[in-house]
Structure 1
Amino acid sequence: MEVVGMAVAGIDARQIETFNKEYSKSPKSFTLGLEARTIWEGRGLGNLGKVGPWKLGTNPIKNPARDFSVQLGSWREVGDALGVEGAADRIEPVETALMALCSCVTEAITLNCARTGVNLEGLEVRANLDVDPGPITGAKEPVDWEKSLRSVKLDVTAQGKLSKKEQQMVEEGATRSPVHHIFSRALDVRTSFRYA
C-alpha cells in the first residue's frame, strides 16, 4: 500500500514502505537486541535503571548519548510503611512497566496510522493496574500473583475525524506493540477505545 503525503505529522509513510521492503529481504538484520539493567544503590529500595547497549541485527550500536538512567524505587509512603529509612519518592517499577506499555502502544498506533494513511490528530493511552503488595513483602506467597494480578486496563483515546475503517487501523495498531504482546502473555489486557 503506497501512501502519499504525511497522514501523521513527522512520519514519512514512504520511508516505512521502504523499511518494510528491506525488512522482508532479511528480517534478522533488523532484529533489535535490547538490554536494560538496574543497580541497587546499597540501601533502602532505591536503584538506578540503565538501558543499553543494544544491537541492530548482529551489529552493536555504541552511542554515548543514549546512556539513559532512571532513578527507580518506591513511593515515600510505601517506604515509610515498610520501615525504609530515608524513603524518598521515586518512579515505582510497576508504574515504569505501565508507562512502557502506554508508550509502546502509542508508537505502534501512530506507525500503523502513518502506514495506512489515517489522519491521526491526537492520541492518549492510559493504563491502570491494581497491585496487591503481599507477595513482594512476604505477607503472601508469589503464587498468589496468579489470583491478584490478573488484568490490566488500557484506555486509548484517538482524536480526529476517523471513519470506521480508520478506527480499525487505530485498534489494529495497539496489537502491533511488542510491549502489549508481552503484557498480554501474562495478563488479560482489557483495552477500550474512545474516539473524539
Structure 2
Amino acid sequence: MAENSSEMHSPGPIISRREALQATAGAVALAALPLQSAAATSSPAGVSSVMAVSMTVNGRAHTLTVDPRQSILDVLRETLDLPGTKKGCNQGACGACTILVDGKRIVSCLTLASMHDGAEIQTIEGLEKDGELHPLQAAFVEHEGLQCGFCTSGQIMSGLGCIAEGHARSPDEIQFWMSGNICRCGAYPGIVAAVADAAERS
C-alpha cells in the first residue's frame, strides 16, 4: 500500500511572496553596507580631503580650509556666513548666485573655490559703503527692479559686470547681456531701467 506523500514530506513553513521579497531586500541592503562605508571613508592614496585657500572677499583677506569639491557659493554661505549670494538652481542656469571674481561675473555654484586661490571676490554684501547704497542698488529701489527679491543680489552683481564690460549702452544690449539672470517675478523692465540708469551715472 502506497504511503500518503503528505506524510512522507513535511511542507515546512509557508511564507508569502511579500515576505520573501522583504527578506531578500533586507539581505541585499545588509550586504551592501560594508561596501558603502568603505567607499565613503576611503580616498585615493596621496589625495587630501581638504586644502588651504586664500581669497579676499569684499576687501577682507581670508585663509580657509575647504573641500576641493566645494563651490565658492557654499564657501560664501556656509563658511564665511555671507548668505546674500543665493542658491537658486545650483546648476548655473538661473544666475541667482552671480558674483564678481577678479572683476568678472561668474555663477558661483559651478565654480570651485579650490580653483581660485588668491582671488579677489566681491559679493552683494560688499557694495554698501558707510551706510550708503551702491548707485546700482539705489537704482534698483528707484526703478522697482525687484519683487520677491530672491534673484536681486545676482541681478545687481551681474548688472555691475555688464556695466564694467561696456554692455549697458542700450536697453536691448542690457537685456541681451543680462539674459543669464532669471527673474521669476518678471521684474525685467525695472531691472533694465536700473542698470541703464546706473550706467549713465558711472
User: Above 0.5 in TM-score?
Assistant: no
Q: TM-score range by the shorter chain?
A: under 0.3
* Structure of greater Rg: 2
Q: Which has the higher strand share?
A: 1
Normalising by structure 2, report the TM-score. 0.23
